[in-house]
Amino acid sequence: MIVTGASRGIGAAIARRAALAGHTVVVNYSVDRSGAREVVQSITDDGGSAVAVQADVSDPAAVREMFDAAARLGRLTAVVNNAGITGNLIGNLTEVPAETVRRVMDVNVTGLIYVCQEAVRRMRADGNGSGGSIVNISSTATKAGSPGTWAHYAASKGAVDVLTAGLAAEVAPLGIRVNCVAPGSTNTGLHAAAGMPDRVERLNPTIPMGRGAEPDEVAAAVMWLMSAEAGYITGAVLPVSGGR
């Protein structure tokens, strides 16, 4: 299994759960090498198998190299598109610099497309593969659009939802299922990196369950969508949001 953006937060939780389920995991990272190594170490300490592979998903050549590294570990059966950024800026859309908009779209949308393309080429049952599962990570920010904070980020995640639906229908005959998990407010470093370390706590009163999600709760949803129990599900967007 390949998990992109797996050096921390939700991606790290997914990688750990996948290893516990018996997968050999490619822990992808872009810049956080030490974080990726820590995730790999925690997996191996628990008896699992994992390797850290650096690749910026917005670079198609790097994506191909990452898949080549995965191929050397065995048959690829699953890919999780978790890599995503906000640009670490908050404010109205008119305040977001053009270079930030480009970078967010390059990683969150274009990069996800590159990974999906390569995953289908490697896993398609009419080729050398035998099918598999792709799970994309979106966000419930697509519901309201994150006005005044991350409208550009919410727009990128809206594209993820649409791509999930289109690709799922396209590759179902190839034995590949494509689904999406949309986390709500989650206790990760994403908010602190953007200068809002208390954002999850401030949003708690707006969440019917009264709290933000833990990364492992999101990871559990990802693993279920990849499991045989979800074998007849494709094109779905599963919110993990406490009812918000």
Task: Supply the residues annotated as catalytic.
Answer: 153
Length of the chain: 244
Contacts of 183 by beta carbon, 8 Å cutoff, 6+ apart: 10, 137, 139, 140, 213, 218, 239, 240, 241
DSSP state of 212: P
Rounded distance, CA 170 to CA 73, Å?
27
User: Tell me, what amino acid is at 50?
Assistant: A
Structure-token pair, residue 218: 């999101």
Neighbours of 56 (CB within 10 A): 18
Rounded distance, CA 149 to CA 89, Å?
8
